[in-house]
């Protein structure tokens, strides 16, 4: 089929109808023109293909397949190759099942640990989320299957998710909530993008021209198609005019009459409708061309991959020389999740797994098992507790499998606290009291408060690690796999410490992102707040040393790149994988900036004593912040510190460079523009220096000396805060001179 030729032959009625789905999972066919219907399915950590009645909440049954680790776990791998291997496997499965598009990845930022859908999202950091997402999209699409990045944009909670408005400033939008999508568009070349239910600053995403056209298509160069989240359409004609292409789920009642009526009234241009139809036709054309009727899938191989990936993603949070366990030790597995693991979340991404492997099954006769408590309740069962305590007391090692039950986190509902169920906390404290060698294995999609942290010797976080999470946990506990995961989000001590605490989930459907750019570690580090575990944290059974941090140039402009190299050595006795995190710190900025920001990362395997040199390339965006005055990313000239380490609070090496910004910060000047602001203007700074040089009165330093010690800084601040109009009030120029100056500087 030829998309452009078919568009010319379609009637208006066919075009209007084509912009809605046939049913829950298929596009409409145009039989007259031999345009077939193609299928899309939920993902992204497994294929949820429904062959009967469809739904978007995971209620009706789907085919039996493989469940991989969820995004919360995958991001903790800090490994682009993990995402590539997953994308290729899912792409091959989609080909075998004749699925044209897999919905995902989920790129929304973890603004609050309470978001019920956080298990589907990567990180609190936009760079990490974008890199992981882009690697996945590239791999999936290499198999001929379209990716659909979601949910665009600022869909960071489930409360009022279908009708609420996320209100935030321009800098926060571009610096925190859009970069992951930008990376997946520019680097991943995603073929589709799903717009969110919610509004951004009062304009619903499905009809938000700023998002769907101005930013997505014109600024980022997106050439795919935009589909709604299921049921997100509010005004179809306005949506198409703004850059929306496909309404889902559609169905037999979605005939396109609303669009036809809008065309008659002049509320919708036919050219905009044609754009939408052409985008969809190109998607179908590509899907048909890349279809492979002979594709097959080896699900046993997929299960082996799921186990490997779960091992790469798990994070060893704490280890007081207890792990790995030794073969032959008397080990007690305690907790229902050891027997019936929680390995995925509820909702549209729920995968139908025929047989998830539990830790108990994987360990076999090597361990003793007791239930400990009822995971479907938060009340303590005294009989189960006593049995667990007795068993733990008699064992050399007690391993408690704990975490959030299904009812605590799901699509469609946010949590209202960060606690584990009370009976689980009581179980852990009671066991740790009788056995100092207590390990806690955590399952769940988000951070929880850990009131017993100081009482246990080790904590292994599996997140929601897919159907093989139980087997992977045993691999990790016994050292058959060396832990290498690092946290993609901060684990705060308590919910009240989270920067969104006072503004989540908002009121009356409106949530204000009052914390601005200070999300996650950007906030905790700036505030110097104690946390349970910082962003990027992760332990290993070996150790790594960093040395020879070198930059290929110490001075550069923002139009150049700088290459950074660092040597990493395995200083332990066993092989392991090191995660190298590179952060950038702006030493002195005139705007508020985080203490440091992740700008690159790498993961590499090292044998004992082995050293590898890792290379990173930093460009303009690595040093920039988003400047609303120019509506773009902007580099202030000055000193920057490049840091490498194993977490945002475990910096091992640093080096200083000077970056010269080449783009002048031009903006409109008026009488209320301060002298400090004018110093950022390319010609304004020269004027201020000239004016201060011809002062007839005592100099600033002389005035400060007369006022006493330490006053020079105060005088400088007072001057920088003065509006230009004050120069007239203080007799430094006339009103006419000020007007002429403003006209000249704005020219």
Catalytic residue list: 229
Name the β-bridge partners of 582. Answer: 600, 644
Give the separation between CA 360 and CA 713, rounded to whole angstroms. 66
Q: Write out the two tokens for 12.
A: 């208006």
Task: Quickly list DSSP for 331-353.
Answer: EEEESGGGTS---S-BSTT--B-
- Contact between 72 and 123 under an 8 Å Cβ cutoff? The reply is no
The residue count of the chain comes to 747
Instruction: Give one DSSP letter per residue of 482-540, joined into a string.
Output: ------SS-EESSGGGSTTGGGSS-BTTEEE-TTTT--THHHHHHHT--EEE-TT--B-
With beta carbons less than 8 A apart as the criterion, state whether 395 and 331 touch. Answer: yes
Q: Which two tokens stand for residue 622?
A: 């690595």
Collapse the DSSP code of 716 into the 3-class scheme (helix H, G, I; strand E, B; otherwise coil) and give the result: helix
Cα distances (angstroms) measured from residue 662 to each of 146, 248, 617, 628: 39, 45, 19, 17
3-state secondary structure of 599: strand
328: burial class by Cβ within 10 Å (0-12, 13-18, 19+)? Answer: exposed
CA distance readout (Å), 152 to 181, 210, 540: 8, 12, 36
Say how far apart CA 717 and CA 722 lie, in whole Å: 9
Whose CA is closest to 318, among 475, 420, 453? 453
Measure the CA–CA gap between 10 and 33, rounded to whole angstroms.
8
Residue with token string 């298509």: 217
> Are residues 49 and 96 in contact, defined by beta-carbon separation less than 8 angstroms?
no
* Rounded Cα gap, residues 379 and 485, in angstroms: 33
Residue from 1, 37, 104, 20 nearest 276 by CA: 20
Tokens encoding 276? 């939408």
Q: For residues 87 and 667, give the distance between their C-alpha atoms in angstroms, rounded to a whole number.
A: 45
Quick one: tokens of 460? 């292994």
- Omega of the bond leading into 468 within 30 degrees of 0 (cis): no
Residues 370-395 as b or e (16 or more Cβ within 10 Å = b):
bbbbbbeebebbeebbeebbebbeeb
State the Cα–Cα distance between residues 474 and 391, nearest whole angstrom.
19
Q: Name every residue whose Cβ is closer than 8 Å to that of residue 566 and which is 6 or more positions away in sequence.
A: 546, 547, 548, 549, 550, 580, 613, 614, 616, 644, 653
Peptide bond into 151 cis (omega under 30): yes
Give the DSSP H or E segment for 126.
helix 126-142
List 658's β-bridge partners, or say none.
555, 639
């Amino acid at each position: 089929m030829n998309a452009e030729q078919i568009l010319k032959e379609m009637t208006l009625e066919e075009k209007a109808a084509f912009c809605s789905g046939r049913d829950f999972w298929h596009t409409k066919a145009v039989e007259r023109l031999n345009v077939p219907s193609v299928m899309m399915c939920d993902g992204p950590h497994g294929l949820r293909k429904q062959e009967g009645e469809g739904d978007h909440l995971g209620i009706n049954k789907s085919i039996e397949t493989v469940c991989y680790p969820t995004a919360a776990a995958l991001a903790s791998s800090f490994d682009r190759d993990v995402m590539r291997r997953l994308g290729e496997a899912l792409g091959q499965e989609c080909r075998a099942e004749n699925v044209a598009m897999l919905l995902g990845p989920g790129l929304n930022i973890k603004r609050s640990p309470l978001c019920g859908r956080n298990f589907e999202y990567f990180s609190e950091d936009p760079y990490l989320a974008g890199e992981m997402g882009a690697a996945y999209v590239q791999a999936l699409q290499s198999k001929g299957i379209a990716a659909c990045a979601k949910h665009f944009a600022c869909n960071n909670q489930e409360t009022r998710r279908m009708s609420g408005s996320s209100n935030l400033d321009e800098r926060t939008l571009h610096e925190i909530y859009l970069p992951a999508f930008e990376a997946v568009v520019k680097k991943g070349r995603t073929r589709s993008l799903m717009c969110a239910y919610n509004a951004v600053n009062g304009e619903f995403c499905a009809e938000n021209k700023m998002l769907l056209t101005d930013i997505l298509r014109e600024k980022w160069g997106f050439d795919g198609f935009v589909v709604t989240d299921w049921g997100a359409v509010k005004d179809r004609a306005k949506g198409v005019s703004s850059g929306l292409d496909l309404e889902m789920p559609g169905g037999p009642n979605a005939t396109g009459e609303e669009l036809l009526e809008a065309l008659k009234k002049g509320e919708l241009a036919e050219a905009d409708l044609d754009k939408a139809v052409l985008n969809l036709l190109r998607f179908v054309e590509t899907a048909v061309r890349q279809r492979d009727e002979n594709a097959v899938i080896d699900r046993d191989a997929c299960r082996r991959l799921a186990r490997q990936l779960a091992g790469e993603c798990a994070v060893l949070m704490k280890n007081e020389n207890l792990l790995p366990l030794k073969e032959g030790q008397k080990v007690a597995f305690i907790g229902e999740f050891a027997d019936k693991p929680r390995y995925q979340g509820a909702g549209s991404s729920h995968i139908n797994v025929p047989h998830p492997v539990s830790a108990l099954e994987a360990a076999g006769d090597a361990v003793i098992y007791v239930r400990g408590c009822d995971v479907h309740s938060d009340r303590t069962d005294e009989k189960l507790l006593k049995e667990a305590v007795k068993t733990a007391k008699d064992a050399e090692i007690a391993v408690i499998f704990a975490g959030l039950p299904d009812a605590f986190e799901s699509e469609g509902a946010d949590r209202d606290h960060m606690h584990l169920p009370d009976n689980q906390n009581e179980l852990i404290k009671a066991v740790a009291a009788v056995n100092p060698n207590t390990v806690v294995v955590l399952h769940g999609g988000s951070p929880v408060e850990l009131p017993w942290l100081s009482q246990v010797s080790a904590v292994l976080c599996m997140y929601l690690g897919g159907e093989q999470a139980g087997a992977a946990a045993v691999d990790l506990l016994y050292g058959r796999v060396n832990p290498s995961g690092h946290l993609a989000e901060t684990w705060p001590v308590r919910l009240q410490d989270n920067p969104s605490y006072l503004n989540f989930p908002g009121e009356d459907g409106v949530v204000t992102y009052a914390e601005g750019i200070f999300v996650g570690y950007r906030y905790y580090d700036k505030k110097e707040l104690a946390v349970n575990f910082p962003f990027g944290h992760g332990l290993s059974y070996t150790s790594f040393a960093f040395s020879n941090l070198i930059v290929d140039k110490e001075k550069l402009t923002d139009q150049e790149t700088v290459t950074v190299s660092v040597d990493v050595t395995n200083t332990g006795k066993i092989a392991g994988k090191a995660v190298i995190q590179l952060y950038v710190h702006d030493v002195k900025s005139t705007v508020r900036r985080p203490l440091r920001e992740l700008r690159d990362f790498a993961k590499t395997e090292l044998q004992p004593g082995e050293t590898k040199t890792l290379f990173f390339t930093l460009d303009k965006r690595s040093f920039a912040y988003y400047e609303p005055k120019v509506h773009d990313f902007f580099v202030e000239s000055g000193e920057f510190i490049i840091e490498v380490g194993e977490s945002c609070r475990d910096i091992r090496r640093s080096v200083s460079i000077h970056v010269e910004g080449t783009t002048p910060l031009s903006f409109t000047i008026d009488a209320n523009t301060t002298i400090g602001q004018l110093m950022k203007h390319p010609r304004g700074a020269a004027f201020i220096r000239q004016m201060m040089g011809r002062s007839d009165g005592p100099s600033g330093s002389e005035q400060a000396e007369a006022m006493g010690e330490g006053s020079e800084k105060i005088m400088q601040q007072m001057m920088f805060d003065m509006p230009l109009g004050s120069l007239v009030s203080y007799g430094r120029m006339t009103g006419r001179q000020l007007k002429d100056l403003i006209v000249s500087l704005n020219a």
